[in-house]
Amino acid sequence: MRIDFAFDLGGRAAACQGATSIPYDRRQEQQQRGTMQAAAASCRDSGAAASPHDVAPGAAWSMLPDAVLEIIGQSFCDARQLEGASRVCKGWRKGFASGMVGIELTVHRDSEQWRTRMERLGRLLPGLQRCKAHVGAGVDALPVAIDTLGQQLERMEHLELQLGEGCQIAADSSLEFSHLQRLRSLTLRGGKFTAAAARLLLGGLAVACPVLEELRVLPEALCGLGDEEMPLLVELAGLKRLEFQAYRLTGAGLLKLTALPQLEELSVSGLDCITGLDAPAFRLCPTLHHLALSGDFVPPPDVVARLREVEGLTMSFRSTDQVAGLLRTLSMHLTSSLVKLDMGVVRVMREEALEGITQLARLTDLRLAVTGNSDRPVTLRLEQLAPLSGLRVLHVGKQCAYFPDTRRMGEASVRIPVDAASAEALAAACGRLRSLRLCLGAGDVLAEGLARLSAFSQLESLSVHAEPFSGAAAAVPMSLAWLPPGLTRLELKHVDICDDAEGLLARPPLPALAALHLDVCRLRPAQLAALAAGVPRLASLRLAGVAGLGDEALASLAGLSELSELSVVGPHNRALTQRGLQALAPLLSLRRLEWQSDDLAAYGPILECFTRFTTLRSLALSCTRRTMVLAFGEDYEAAFRASCPYIDLDLRGA
């Protein structure tokens, strides 16, 4: 028995042949038959259609009784069976069953349409507990949208709001969470707000969400929480995890957070004025077991010395000038407590500069980007990090440096060779490494070292950037067969993928890959087609400056049914045009698209190339507003919205 369902966003339900087919075993068949009989009985009792097959294409969800909606939802119990049901709301991919607890959606700019959709969502999935909502800059009534969501989904426990660039949190946002009394976790990421709006928001949360345990407030730059907002945070007495971006926050204001009786994890970014007198305040939080402090500069030694009481400490800086002195201070006071360290841009002038880092034996996360302008090259070896056997994350990069004698910017005079010996020694010592990022010069990344990357058997995320700092440099050859087969994320820059298409088809090297980002790489069309056929779980793909990419090559991506994010950047590539997007219309899961091509920059978007993407919610184009005005007139936004009403447009042209 095969049962096919298709639901569309407009609130219509129709049984159709040709949607995703769902095979059932005998037990599932019997269960499904009973479900359909119960649905038909409910329909007869309510006077609705006798069975889902009798529902007219124009029937609204409001004509179906709640019992039928609940039965339909219960009939889907496996995420692999939900492709046909995903059409109930464009962009739903992960589930439709009544047991589904999480969903990702986009807030509609029209308040009435958003209210209608939330009403349907509340009837279909009343038990939703987790939601991630994308909010574009075109949404003016954000408090109304959140209030509507709370009215229909009162069981919501975890809410994340991803605010687009320029999105403003208004000052009347204090009552929007009044219906979310069960909310335990809230994340506000992106956007901006005034100090008055922040105070009203926190005051409203203290009243409306008595069981809130996790709060993250991470807005855009030059915005955050300061001394005046700290007393309002203290009113959220149930907070266990707090993460926020500071703005004009002093140590005196930070001291007030010690009044939170259950605080376990605290993460503050943007700090610049904590003093040694304020640092002991963290001892007043007996429940605090993880503290993350992020600032522009390295704190004074007396501050570092007074942070030794914290069990798990994370420190990150934008830049580190006196690296030897910092490492000496850290090794003296924080050997047993520091677990994560981001040193930012590190100025290295001698080979012994990083010797003290091996004393931090508890480090699990280490990140740094070296620079230097010494007269002679300084060589650092990756095997010097072998004593840090507990590392899970290692990010090492190189940046440009200014050479005053010749008055030029160029590659830093620091060499970090990735050769066979370094790769083997690091893999043997740090066998539990999960994330490795090597953003070095083209002369540092050697093919013999890349061939040893398979020794990192536990690796899940890998980034290899071979930056050509000085003029044109040959791309580094690399075979995907050299990589650990368990990789889920891969980023490559200035790399020549040398696998043949037949080998990629016969033995896919990365079957678990979920994210692939290629920047200025050489990948021939046949290789791209073979690679796409071997990564069925790919959800995020970026192709920027890829040699050989054209309209015909894009057609090979149409089989990536899991793809939700696609970025194609092809300047000065005449083989790549907007017409190539028409072959990707079958990607029903695509939600975010970034596109840059010469025809777009010159003439503006061809609307018919984007209207077929029914699930697309965010579109970033490389053309300017002037180009849009020439193509569609002064009211180009209305013209675009008329053809693509559900897409948030972002123009990124110069």
Tell me what pLDDT residue 276 has: 53
State how far the Cα of 394 lies from the Cα of 364, in Å rounded to an integer.
8
Q: Cα–Cα distance between 646 and 169 in angstroms, integer?
A: 22
Contact criterion met (CB below 8 Å) for 238 and 211: yes
Note the pLDDT of residue 275. 62
Query: 593: which strand partners?
Result: 566, 619
Exposed, middle or buried by CB within 10 Å (0-12, 13-18, 19+), for 41?
A: middle
Which residues of the chain form CATH 3.80.10.10?
Answer: 518-654
Confidence at residue 440, expressed as pLDDT on a 0 to 100 scale: 95
Query: CATH classification of 518-654, choosing from 3.40.50.720, 1.20.58.100, 3.80.10.10, 1.10.3300.10?
Result: 3.80.10.10
Q: Are 571 and 596 within 8 A, CB to CB? A: yes
Question: What pLDDT is stored for residue 463 in this prediction?
Answer: 98
Give the C-alpha separation, 610 to 487, whole Å: 32
Q: Is 473 exposed, middle or buried (0-12, 13-18, 19+ CB in 10 A)?
A: middle
User: pLDDT at position 235, please?
Assistant: 94
Q: Distance between alpha carbon 54 and the CA centroid of its chain, in Å? A: 42
Is the backbone of residue 358 left (phi > 0), alpha (psi -120 to 50) or beta? Answer: alpha
Q: Exposure of 502 by Cβ count < 10 A (0-12 exposed, 13-18 middle, 19+ buried)? A: exposed
Q: What is the pLDDT of residue 109?
A: 82
Per-residue pLDDT reduced to its tens digit, 135-193: 887 787 888 888 898 888 888 999 999 998 878 887 565 557 888 899 999 999 998 88
**Are 531 and 504 spatial neighbours (Cβ–Cβ below 8 Å)?**
yes
CB 356 within 8 A of CB 330: yes
Low-confidence ranges of the chain (pLDDT < 70): 1-101, 171-175, 272-281, 283-284, 654
Q: Assign domain 318-498 one CATH number from 1.10.8, 1.20.1050, 3.10.20, 3.80.10.
A: 3.80.10
463: CB partners within 8 A, 6+ apart: 395, 436, 437, 438, 439, 490, 491, 492
* Residue 188 contacts residue 162 (beta carbons within 8 Å): no
What is the rounded radius of gyration, in angstroms, for the C-alpha atoms of the chain? 27
Residue 66: per-residue pLDDT? 52
Which residue in the block uniquely carries the two structure tokens 């503050």? 268
Question: Cα separation of 124 and 72, whole Å?
Answer: 8
| Main-chain phi, psi angles of 396, to 5 degrees | -125, 125
Q: What are phi and psi of 55, to 5 degrees?
A: -75, 130
Report whether 476 contacts 466 (CB < 8 A): yes
What span, in angstroms and rounded, lies between the C-alpha atoms of 386 and 422? 10
What pTM does this model have? Answer: 0.81
